[in-house]
Structure 1
Amino acid sequence: MTEETEVVVIGGGYAGVTAANRLTQREDVAVTLVNPRPDFVERIRLHQLAGGSDDAVVGYRQVLAERVRLVVGTVTRIDAGERAVRLANGETLGYDYLIYAVGSGSEVPGVPGAAEFAYPLGDLEEAKRLRAALDAAPTASVTVVGAGPSGIETAAELAETGRNVTLACGGALGPYLHTRGRQAVAKRLAKLGVTVLDGPGSKVTAVTRGTVELSDGREIPGEVTVWTAGFGVPDLAANSGLSTDALGRLRTDETLTSVDDSRVVAAGDSAAPSDLPFRMSCQAAGPLGAHAADTVLSRITGDRPAPIELGFAGQCLSLGRRGGLFQFARRNDAATAFYIGGRLGAKVKEIVCSGTVGKLTREAAKPGSLGWAWSKDAERRKAVQAKETGAAQAKRTEPAA
């Protein structure tokens, strides 16, 4: 009888679920997915939960292969030496291979008063707390801090419900966007009645119970303040003695294998391959999760894992339920002048959101089906090669011991 290979996946987001499903290609691989919640969270819909148009939750049985064992719990430590993970309830799970897909969440703000008086929006529980605060104050003005995708989408979603919304950008509106795309977003936000405070002086320096202070001295109403400025990564890897980058992402090689342990593979927002991590996004999470699974499957069969090759197509934003924008980009993730806006942009955004769940469902039914061969970033490949060449040259010039 063939002995099974035990693979534990930590994290049940886009990357973790994709990885777990893909691993079921082999009958002799036993897959356990550990996640703190019993349901899959559509993180790209959390702003909709805040606005009341979606619950942002899908049952795991819809997106997870039947052969994947789901353990609802929180991993508190990885013991790489013993090949085991420790759970908060005292349980221990052994593994032959581990996929680290813990994702990202709200960054702990260092701005005075932000932790006490602002509502972050990085996970399901935070979004529910914000929704409750909004329900308790139906006429309260809202200040959204941060003008990345989460900030823009949240400001638009709440303004469309009739809220008085101010968006404090802390710099440029939508830094990722091309100038043309940014102008389209600004036009839509203005139509929704959102007051956009951008450029120099718009950085938030303090938050109180009812106000937000800006770096240029302005003080604006903030009866409900939403904090979307920045995301952080759980400190599980660092606390477990594994090498991480400055943000806490697990440092890996190009196959997504930990630089410390060939039995540990990373995926999604919590991976830092070659110290050149991909943009945190569900667009990257799916392929990274699939590639992490492929790396593990290659090691099981004794084959050499392939390096990750992944490029981007752009970024899509919802601007309320009746507007949206798809910002096209080159494969190196640099925005171009082309975009789709208006109602068609909203339809494209919804297709993308629905498609992410669809891809998970398809991978569960037909593991190995997800492909992204069309999407390769030649610029990143050159950057990786340059780092490798530089490291090799530095090693050759090191003085002898």
Structure 2
Amino acid sequence: MHKIVILGAGYAGLMALTSVVGRTKKRDDVHVTLVNPSERFTERLRLHQVAAGRPVADFRLPDMLEGTGVELVRGWVTGIDATARTVRVDDEHVLTYDTLVYALGSVADTAVPGADEHAYTLDNAQNAALLAQRLTDPDTKTVAVCGSGLTGVEVAAEIAEAHPGLTVELLGRGEPGADFGPKAKAHLDATLDRLGVRVRAGVEITKVLPDSVALAGGGSVPADVVVWTSGVHVSPLPAAAGLEVDERGRVITDAALRSVSHPEIYVVGDAAAVRQTWGELHGTCQSGMPTGAHAGMSIARQLDGKEPKPFRFGYIHIPVSLGRGDAVVQFTKPDGTPRRWSLRGKRAVWYKETVSSAPWPTCGRMMRHPATASVWPHGGRRNR
């Protein structure tokens, strides 16, 4: 029995699971185990909606896995022994593997003093729900969103639209939408202004306090609530296991997405340092899902005695929600730099909702009916 263990049920992990199960369903010599701390699949793309008190769909892993033969193990991965090929879960039991798919992703980087103690993050649905509850507190008047990247933009816009009585400030080193073309950037700026979001670019946050954030060079911004969206980091588990990692702790992979030091381990999503001809992937759902699909296909090829193919990918767009009624979509070159074209307003809302609609009911059907597995791409340009 060939034991495949997949760590993490985020976008990349579930796509790897779907891909490998769909392609090995007819085999009786393969056992697949999925390890995740929760029975719920969290749509991280929609956590800013949860934080603003918006309802979102509730997807449960046992329902999705019913009839697939996949074993679900609930728990936190606390260690990997790459020599013995074992995974420790909750420091209580050990799983053995022949092939491992590492898809544990990343979490908010709260290294700035006070961020852990005084700021909310959107790493999971529980944190987002706690933030949503806090925003309804009558004592909450001001919200500081720290980090002017696209996550920060979506959070600030969603909160400002859902809670028009709050003062929302977006703070960061760079201009929101700095990588957009002129039309998309202008629309983003105008929408944030319409929603009442106060943007402070060119600032560095040095400390988060209970009632404010301190800025480099002196001064501070008062805030009853602080939301931290400034950067992410990956788990130290792969480095501790002896896998070769880059300066950010991401596992260095070969062309087929296998660890260069431990080829029996595939690494997908945010935790992988994946190079393409145009440069390096950055952690997004748009690139994470194709890495998962490709890993699943590659594992199936190896089980059939074939060599895995190289992973090829290029970005095509950057879709950003600006509340429920507005959005902007910047189309890009494969390396993520902007093209001339963009969508704005209602057309962008429709486009983003279409490309980011939850695919997991379809994934469940694919795992139960392997003939449909071939409809999912394995590498190449993706629009999700």
TM-score by length of 2: 0.90
Name the CA shift for 1:98/1:269 in 2 (closer, same or farther; >3 Å).
same
Question: Any conservation in 1 of the 2:281–2:287 contact (CA below 8 Å)?
Answer: yes
Counterpart residue identity of residue 289, structure 2? G
Name the CA shift for 1:143/1:357 in 2 (closer, same or farther; >3 Å).
same
Counterpart-to-counterpart distance in 1, 2:323 and 2:31: 42
Question: Any conservation in 2 of the 1:310–1:372 contact (CA below 8 Å)?
Answer: no
1:136-159 Cα offsets, whole Å, 9 max, x none, are 346421010111121000000100
Q: Find the counterpart in structure 2 of residue 5 from structure 1.
A: 2
1:353 aligns with 2:356: yes
Question: Any conservation in 1 of the 2:35–2:73 contact (CA below 8 Å)?
Answer: yes
The alignment partner of 1:286 has SS state of: helix
1:312-351 alignment, distance < 5 Å:
312-351=315-354
Q: Find the counterpart in structure 2 of residue 295 from structure 1.
A: 298
1:304-319 alignment, distance < 5 Å:
304-319=307-322
1:151-170 alignment, distance < 5 Å:
151-161=152-162, 162=164, 163-170=166-173
Question: Any conservation in 1 of the 2:257–2:274 contact (CA below 8 Å)?
Answer: yes
1:144 aligns with 2:145: yes
The partner residue of 1:172 within 172, 175, 178 is 175
Counterpart-to-counterpart distance in 2, 1:217 and 1:64: 53
Counterpart-to-counterpart distance in 1, 2:210 and 2:8: 34
1:72 aligns with 2:78: no
Q: Select between 84-93 and 183-192 the one with higher mean Cα deviation.
A: 84-93
1:23 aligns with 2:24: no
Q: Select between 162-171 and 50-59 the one with higher mean Cα deviation.
A: 50-59
Structure 2, unaligned stretches of length 5 or more? none
The partner residue of 1:371 within 368, 373, 377 is 377
1:11-36 Cα offsets, whole Å, 9 max, x none, are 10111111112112212321111011
1:162-241 alignment, distance < 5 Å:
162=164, 163-198=166-201, 200=202, 202-241=203-242
> Shift of residue 296 of structure 1?
1.6
Question: Any conservation in 2 of the 1:51–1:157 contact (CA below 8 Å)?
Answer: yes
The alignment partner of 1:256 has SS state of: coil
Name the CA shift for 1:267/1:373 in 2 (closer, same or farther; >3 Å).
closer
Counterpart-to-counterpart distance in 2, 1:311 and 1:362: 27
Name the CA shift for 1:123/1:87 in 2 (closer, same or farther; >3 Å).
same
Higher relative contact order (CA 8 A, sep 6+): 2
Q: Find the counterpart in structure 2 of residue 102 from structure 1.
A: 104
What count of residue pairs does the alignment treat as equivalent?
Answer: 370
Question: Any conservation in 1 of the 2:254–2:260 contact (CA below 8 Å)?
Answer: yes
Q: Select between 284-293 and 333-342 the one with higher mean Cα deviation.
A: 333-342
The alignment partner of 1:354 has SS state of: coil
Counterpart-to-counterpart distance in 2, 1:138 and 1:362: 47
Q: Find the counterpart in structure 2 of residue 42 from structure 1.
A: 43
Question: Any conservation in 2 of the 1:106–1:123 contact (CA below 8 Å)?
Answer: no
Question: Any conservation in 2 of the 1:323–1:345 contact (CA below 8 Å)?
Answer: yes
> Shift of residue 89 of structure 1?
4.5
> Shift of residue 64 of structure 1?
4.1
Question: Any conservation in 1 of the 2:78–2:91 contact (CA below 8 Å)?
Answer: no
Counterpart-to-counterpart distance in 1, 2:179 and 2:62: 35
Name the CA shift for 1:182/1:122 in 2 (closer, same or farther; >3 Å).
farther
Question: Any conservation in 2 of the 1:118–1:226 contact (CA below 8 Å)?
Answer: yes
1:301-335 Cα offsets, whole Å, 9 max, x none, are 22111110011111111100101111110122112
The partner residue of 1:82 within 64, 79, 84 is 84
Q: Find the counterpart in structure 2 of residue 395 from structure 1.
A: none
Name the CA shift for 1:356/1:170 in 2 (closer, same or farther; >3 Å).
farther
Counterpart residue identity of residue 132, structure 2? R
Counterpart residue identity of residue 129, structure 2? K
Counterpart-to-counterpart distance in 1, 2:333 and 2:231: 24
> Shift of residue 361 of structure 1?
4.2
The alignment partner of 1:298 has SS state of: helix
Percent identical among aligned pairs is: 35
TM-score by length of 1: 0.87
1:31-53 Cα offsets, whole Å, 9 max, x none, are 11101111100000000010011
Q: State the superposition RMSD in angstroms.
A: 2.1
Counterpart-to-counterpart distance in 2, 1:363 and 1:170: 43
Counterpart residue identity of residue 4, structure 2? V
The alignment partner of 1:303 has SS state of: coil
Counterpart residue identity of residue 324, structure 2? R
